[in-house]
Amino acid sequence: MKVVYSPYHILHDPPKEFISNHIENYGESPFRAELIFEALMDLPGIEVIRPVEFSIDHLLKVHSEEYIKYLETAYDDWIEAGLWSEGVLPEFFALGRIRQNSPGKSPVGKAGYYMTDSCTMIVKGTWEAVRHSAYTALTGAQNLLNGDAVVFSLCRPPGHHAGYDYSGGYCFLNNATIAARYLIDVGSATTFSQKKVAILDIDFHHGNGTQDVVQRQENILFVSIHGDPDYNYPYLTGSVAENSEKNINYPLPSGTTDKEYESVFQLAVTDIIKFGVDYLIVSLGVDTFEFDQLGDFKLTSPEYSRLSEILITELEIPILVIMEGGYNTDYLAANVLSFLRPFMPDPA
Ligand SMILES: [Zn+2]
């Protein structure tokens, strides 16, 4: 199994975030990806590859040009204006009618326009890191089109809270939809048949950014299983009221167990089979784990293997696994490994 990994992620290392009404060390740290990478690199059957660089056009298929330009220039503009040197964090938020106006000229105004929360900071190396995180997803998609049955794109920063023109929830570029668009466009062009992709989001938090992007796209189904947004980030999206032909949300209550989760997971797989897709992208978050500090489900480590076994048994299509969340660093690598192990050939 190929694992795509870029060392550029370490350039995105914000010092802190404002969460739950206090300032904390940044939860989405470089240490997360390093732990997973170190646990994987020595395993038999793992081939680590570096992402190749792609044209920015692939990012522009799912994000607005103005937003991409913002990510590229936000830190330098912020520093040039003499603002807080540690990084870009909004001090107000452009809600409703305010957001219908232009982002304006001030770096403070722009931060409030393009950023949706106070836990997702832009620092000096953020653009380099997020660009390479997207390339990590795209390289995974490219290898899938070249015939791999499964690829793990160890993306960092994650992507599923990044929308068409906004960041949030530690996410800046929506890696899953960027990869989906690539699979559809390049896959359809090379085989002369229309391809369809499903994104199955099993992070604890609703993939609001992915949902936002998928609304604007064709031939992508988005299915998300997540903590009830009435009590969890991102709070305002993820209910069944948002369900449509190409968007299916499964909000679940606090304390959801392995067995309860698995029965809903089966429903999600049935949705994907019904839609009829050529490729599956899994937005893998392991913050559904019983001891994760940002989630309150009760999944155990072996359950992640059972979930991937269901995918292997019921969907005979190529699978791209993209890393999203998971914050208990004592168990993070073990849980990711548990999910990936069924995809690995048995050691001879
Ligand atoms: Zn999450």
Confidence label for 8 from pLDDT (cuts 50, 70 and 90): very high
Express each pLDDT in 179-213 by its tens digit: 999 999 999 999 999 999 999 999 999 999 999 99
Measured in Å, residue 80 CA sits from the centre of ligand 1 at 33
pLDDT of residue 345 exceeding 80: no
pTM above 0.85, yes or no: yes
Residue 235 domain flag: yes
In the numeric block, which tokens belong to residue 189?
């062009």
Phi/psi-derived region of residue 197, left when phi > 0, alpha when psi is between -120 and 50, beta in every other case: beta
Q: Give the CATH number, domain containing residue 260.
A: 3.40.800.20
pLDDT of residue 66 exceeding 70: yes
- Residue positions annotated with a catalytic role: 161
Please name which of 116, 120, 203 lies closest in space to residue 164, comparing C-alpha atoms. 116
Residue 227 domain flag: yes
Q: What is the structure's pLDDT at 42?
A: 80
Residue 83 domain flag: no
- Residue recorded with tokens 């032909």: 245
Point out the least confidently predicted range of 29-33, 83-87, 295-299, 303-307: 83-87
Measured in Å, residue 205 CA sits from the centre of ligand 1 at 4
18: Cβ–Cβ under 8 A, 6 or more apart, which residues?
24, 89, 118, 119
Express each pLDDT in 90-107 by its tens digit: 988 988 778 888 999 999
Express each pLDDT in 13-45 by its tens digit: 999 998 888 999 999 999 999 999 999 998 999
Residue 283 domain flag: yes
Q: What is the structure's pLDDT at 101?
A: 85
- 238, 251 contact by CB (below 8 A): yes
The dihedrals phi and psi of 226, each to the nearest 5 degrees, come to -160, 170
Segment 224-231 shows an average pLDDT of 97
Residue 85 domain flag: no
Q: What percentage of the chain carries pLDDT values higher than 70?
A: 99
Residue 228 domain flag: yes
Measured in Å, residue 192 CA sits from the centre of ligand 1 at 37
Confidence label for 110 from pLDDT (cuts 50, 70 and 90): very high
Express each pLDDT in 252-290 by its tens digit: 999 999 999 999 999 999 999 999 999 999 999 999 999
Number of domains in the chain: 1
How close are the terminal C-alpha atoms of the chain, in Å? 15
- 227, 205 contact by CB (below 8 A): yes
pLDDT of residue 348 exceeding 60: no
Residue 27 domain flag: yes
Q: What percentage of the chain carries pLDDT values higher than 90?
A: 93
In the numeric block, which tokens belong to residue 122?
């832009």
Measured in Å, residue 262 CA sits from the centre of ligand 1 at 18
Q: What is the structure's pLDDT at 319?
A: 98
Residue 117 domain flag: no
- 22, 46 contact by CB (below 8 A): no
Express each pLDDT in 157-181 by its tens digit: 999 999 999 999 999 999 999 999 9
**Which residue type does 232 have?**
N
Q: Which SS3 state, helix, strand or coil, does residue 96 take? A: helix
Range of 145's domain?
2-52+125-343
CA 155/CA 153 separation, integer angstroms: 6
Helix residue ranges per DSSP H, the chain: 30-41, 57-60, 65-80, 96-100, 107-114, 126-145, 175-191, 208-215, 258-275, 301-314, 332-340
